[in-house]
Amino acid sequence: MFKKRMRPMSWKNLFRKKTISQILLDIELRENGSESHQLKKTLGVWDLTAFGVAAIVGAGIFSTIGNAAYSGGPAVIFLFIFTAVACAFSAFCYAEFASALPVAGSAYTYAYASFGEILAWIIGWDLLMEYAISNIAVAISWSQYFITILSSYGIVVPKYLTMDFLSAYRGYQKVSPLLLVQSDLGQIAATGVSSSVIHAFQAWRDAPRVLGVPLVCNLPALVVTMMVTGVAYFGIQESKLTSNVLVALKVAVILLVIFLGAYYIHPVNWVPFAPNGVGGVFKGVSAVFFAYIGFDAISTTAEECKNPQRDLPRGMIYSLVICTVLYVLMSLVLTGMVSYKKLDVGDPLAFVFGPQGANLPWVSGVVSISAVVALFTVLLVYQLGQPRIWMAMSRDGLLPPIFSAIHPRFKTPWFSTLITGLFVAVPSLFMNLTEVTDLTSTGTLFAFSLVCGGSLLMGSPPKSHQPKFRVPYINSKFFFPIFVLLVAASVLYFNGEGVQNFLGMGHESPDDFFTWEVIQRKIPLIIYFFEIGVLMYFCIRHSLSLIPVLGLVSCTYLMTELGMTNWIRFGAWLVVGFFVYFLYGARKSRLRALK
């Protein structure tokens, strides 16, 4: 007659952990229970490797690599290697967790086992943002490449169906006053106004109106999102076959570019090798890192692997190695074919085979088509990853039960997949992502940092479920202090002027040093130095494992490069997440009910 009263919330409850034994018991119960609650086990090590390559070899190799080479010159290869090494430290920690906890929760589940519920919720909420924004950005990029291919064949799509509302409005606001001075758009273009701004003006001007409001949207982005969501909805087997075929195609095109481009290399273009120094090489660190986050999505497919303890670690590491080799070779070829000064373009692979490079138009066409294929596979992998995060959070009671519902026929989290498609399709119609895409790198680096920290905190799994992969133990007691000293000496030697500016001894006047504009740029690094000091203490006192420590310091350093604005936006997203957690998740948590 009376409902059972829930115990009042306490701060202690927020840090309750889901033990490894509890997680393994949940896995065992699902595997021995009704098939309607199980995902279909169909993935092997090469399928997982293909998923990793599908996610990593995308916009980075078809776009970002050009801007990074423009800033760093041929020495940009060291940026790709550095970023790959930083990711490799995290990948080792991911692999150990995935081997010990073969469940479709990725960093969310790992944080639940090592830090507790509140941090698990934070990282789960963060991953939802990371995947959603990544998917939206990729869908919009795919739309741009696709429209370019259609136009090359004489198929014209109305401009008001190819961009977001805000971009069109801004273009109209910028061009309209100029038309009062110039007679036509051709004269305005001659003054230096970009073609994208003029296209935005035309989209706003030509769009049909409803109650006076122009109907401007990115229709191809919506269509590709619906296509990918359909593939993900109908089964992991179909997703696997689609990914494997398309990955084979785009890797073949990349190898074609590398081997064919090698014949057009002019070694003189590699001199000077690092024209802008270390600062130039690391200028594009955030954009390049964005290309390497794909192995995170691999771990979300753990419950669909035939042998997750063995295959997940291998798939992560294989994909990271393969993609790093491809990026390094591609960087050398691009900077060898043309001067790095010409690579500040959005389509560098097509550019180097155009009139200013090898002048092989047919290769440019092949590259453009392969870019559409590459971006499709990236979108597919991320669309597979996000629903499984929803599903894991729902199983723990932090989201409504419908999010963990498995389709009886297709064996996929059908509701979460549809919601994911909706979350990507609708914003991709109308959103301008220029100002928010860095949030993906912020969220991903935050996830990587927690996984590395969780590896240091995770307890020993039961003897009956010992992981087949463990992070190799290297005592950090002596190696980490030596590493810090070497890095500090290198920074002083190669970037002494930057250190002086940071300390207020360079170009900044003493009066400017204590202004908010200057201080806010220094806050992330000040926090980072404090973190180094704390880690130094624990390494010496407790002999921590070196690889997770290096992963933690590498990822948190990259986070300091993202700027205060991105951290404010990231914090705002987390505030929204806290409202959801305290209104629903904290009260419905399965772990709380078991206590």
pTM here?
0.80
- 255 in a structural domain: yes
Question: DSSP letter string over 342-353?
Answer: G--SS-HHHHHT
Report whether pLDDT(352) > 50: yes
pLDDT at 38: 65
Tokens of 191: 């003054």
pLDDT the model gives residue 10: 58
Sign of CA dihedral 316, 319, 322, 323: negative
Residues 6+ positions from 69 with CB-CB distance below 8 Å: 76, 331, 334, 335, 340, 343, 348
Query: How does pLDDT run across 282-301, given as a tens digit for each residue?
Result: 776 666 666 676 777 788 78
DSSP 3-state of 293: coil
Specify whether 325 is located in the same domain as 403: yes
pLDDT: which is higher, 123 or 34: 123
pLDDT at 190 over 80: no
The answer to whether residues 170 and 149 belong to one domain is no
Overall average pLDDT of the 305-309 stretch = 83
pLDDT > 50? residue 234:
yes
The per-residue pLDDT for 71 is 80
Confidence bin at 249 (pLDDT 50/70/90): confident
| More confident site: 376 or 460 | 376
pLDDT (average), residues 239-256 = 83
Same domain for 375 and 506, yes or no, is no
Continuous segment of H or E residues that includes residue 209? strand 209-210
> What pLDDT, in 10s, does the model give residues 399-451?
898 998 888 888 888 898 899 888 888 877 776 655 556 667 777 788 888 88
Residue 59 confidence (pLDDT): 63
Question: Are 469 and 299 spatial neighbours (Cβ–Cβ below 8 Å)?
Answer: no
Q: Are residues 507 and 526 in the same domain?
A: yes
Please, what is the angle between helix 546-560 and helix 76-100, to 10°? 130
Phi, psi of 158 (to 5 degrees): -55, 135
pLDDT given at position 6: 47
Q: Is the pLDDT of residue 459 over 70?
A: no
Is residue 245 predicted with pLDDT exceeding 50? yes
As a whole number, mean pLDDT of residues 527-556 equals 89
Q: Which tokens hold the place of 511?
A: 């009066």
pLDDT in tens, 360-382: 877 777 877 887 887 888 888 88
Which residues are within 8 A (CB) of 272 and not within 5 positions of it... i.e. 6 or more apart? Answer: 73
Distance (Å, rounded) from C-alpha 390 to C-alpha 508? 48
In this prediction, residue 559 has a pLDDT band, given cuts at 50, 70 and 90, of: confident
261 and 194 in a single domain? The answer is no
pLDDT at residue 592, as a whole number: 60
Handedness of CA 118, 119, 125, 128 (dihedral sign): negative
Range 529-533 average pLDDT:
89
Q: For the chain, how long is the longest CA-to-CA vector?
A: 85
DSSP 210: E
- pLDDT at residue 438 in the model: 62
- Please report the pLDDT score of residue 18 as a whole number: 78
Exposed (0-12), middle (13-18) or buried (19+): which is 114, by Cβ within 10 Å?
buried
Q: What length does the chain have?
A: 595
Region 259-287: mean pLDDT is 80
| 226 found inside a domain | yes
pLDDT tier at 593, thresholds 50, 70, 90:
low
DSSP 8-state class, residue 214: E
**Do 140 and 266 reside in the same domain of the chain?**
yes
Is the pLDDT score of 346 beyond 70?
A: no
Compute the average pLDDT of residues 49-60: 79
Confidence check: pLDDT of 574 > 70: yes
The HSE-up count of residue 443 (CA atoms within 13 Å, CB side) is: 27
- Among the listed residues 356, 330, 345, 343, the one whose alpha carbon sits nearest the alpha carbon of residue 275: 343
pLDDT at residue 536 in the model: 92
* Whether residue 93 has pLDDT greater than 60: yes
Residue 463 lies in a domain: no
Q: Is the dihedral of CA 64, 65, 66, 69 positive or negative?
A: positive
Shared-domain flag, residues 311 and 441: yes
Residues 404 and 280 placed together within one structural domain of the fold: yes
Residue 166 has pLDDT above 50, yes or no: yes
Examine residue 22 and state whether it is found in any structural domain, yes or no: no
N-terminal to C-terminal alpha carbon distance within the chain:
23
**Which positions ≥6 away from 51 have C-beta within 8 Å?**
43, 243, 294, 297, 298, 301, 315, 319, 381, 384
pLDDT, position 432: 63
What H or E segment, with its residue span, contains residue 384? helix 361-395
264, 337 Cβ separation under 8 angstroms: yes
User: Is 315 contained in some domain?
Assistant: yes
Residues 211 and 112 in one domain: no
108-112, 281-285, 312-316, 549-553: least confidently modelled range: 281-285
Does residue 462 carry a pLDDT above 70? no
Report residue 549's pLDDT band, with 50, 70 and 90 as the boundaries. very high
Q: Show the tokens assigned to 105.
A: 């929760």
Looking at the fold, whether 519 and 407 belong to one and the same domain comes out as no
**pLDDT greater at residue 33 or residue 343:** 343
- Flag whether 393 is in a domain: yes
Closest CA to 552 of 476, 457, 451: 451
What is the mean pLDDT of the segment spanning 316-330?
87
In this prediction, residue 550 carries a pLDDT of: 92
What DSSP designation does 475 have?
A: B
229 and 184 inside one domain: no
Percent of the chain topping pLDDT 70: 83
Residues 6+ apart with CB under 8 A from 412: 39, 40, 232, 233, 234, 235, 236, 387, 406
CATH of the domain at 235: 1.20.1740.10
Examine the domain organization and report whether 258 and 393 are in the same domain: yes
Q: Which of 66-75, 195-204, 346-355, 474-483 has the lowest mean pLDDT?
A: 346-355
Query: Is pLDDT of 505 > 60?
Result: no
Our count of domains for the chain comes to 3
Average pLDDT over residues 384-403: 87
pLDDT band at 5; cut points 50, 70, 90: very low
Tell me if residue 143 falls in helix, strand or coil.
helix
Specify the pairing of strand 209-210 against strand 213-214: antiparallel
Q: State the pLDDT confidence band at 82, using cuts at 50, 70 and 90.
A: confident
Work out the average pLDDT over 260-282. 83
What are 163's two structure tokens? Answer: 């961009």
> Quick one: which H or E segment has residue 213?
strand 213-214
Range of the domain at 527: 476-594
Most confident of 98-102, 234-238, 368-372, 416-420: 416-420
Domain membership of residue 26 (yes or no) is no
pLDDT of residue 537: 92
What is the DSSP secondary structure assignment for residue 63, as one 8-state letter? I
Mean pLDDT lowest among 133-142, 321-330, 344-353, 528-537: 344-353
Q: Give how far Cα 246 sits from Cα of 62, 139, 241, 381, 391, Å.
A: 15, 17, 9, 12, 27
Domain-located, residue 30: no
**How many beta carbons lie within 10 A of that of residue 289, not counting itself?**
27
Average pLDDT of the chain, as a whole number: 79
Task: Reply yes or no on whether the pLDDT at 19 is more than 80.
Answer: no
